[in-house]
Amino acid sequence: MKQPTHQIARELGVHPANLIFRLAALGAPFDEVWPEVDASWIDAVRQSAWEQFGLSRPQTSRTNVAPPPISSSAIQVLSKLWRQRCFGSHTASLDVIKNHWCKTTPNVEEAIRELGEVGYLQIEGSRGPYSLNSARSGEIERIARQVADRSG
């Protein structure tokens, strides 16, 4: 459910511009956070800054919880979508993923199916377009950064 950005900022006790900056850091495209923002992005903000918003600390840290096991092809696809900031309404078609971004990645279609099954990828139709799940942006970023650290 979408709500006005200024109203959410008031509820969280932050300036609307600061809310938009925080959402941008989480990978939210501007058109998804202004003038209205989706509840999944607000949940992502609250999870990333639980102390600031007076929430109780989670019993187990997400960093200690192992992410679901996914294939190396799925990790490569996830990493590329993350680098391209494909969250929310910023989507990518199967053609772009398969023939442009992940030319050397084996089994791209199987990797996409796998990412959808574990909840990292949102699939709008039977063949896309595809975008990363903003509610799991923290986990996605950790996986993508691990790939970048190993290759860089």
Delineate the domains of the chain, giving CATH numbers in brackets: 2-48 (no CATH), 72-151 (1.10.10.10)
Tokens of 107: 């089994």
Q: What is the pLDDT of residue 88?
A: 86
Confidence band (pLDDT; 50, 70, 90) for 145?
confident
* 77-134: pLDDT as tens digits: 999 999 999 998 899 999 999 999 999 999 999 999 999 999 999 988 777 899 999 8
Closest CA to 92 of 105, 82, 81, 103: 81
Q: What is the mean pLDDT of residues 21-35?
A: 80
* 35-60: pLDDT as tens digits: 888 777 777 777 776 555 554 444 44
Cβ atoms of 92 and 128 within 8 Å: the answer is yes
Cβ atoms of 53 and 118 within 8 Å: the answer is no
What type of residue sits at position 85? R
- In degrees and rounded to multiples of 5, residue 102 shows phi and psi of -125, 50
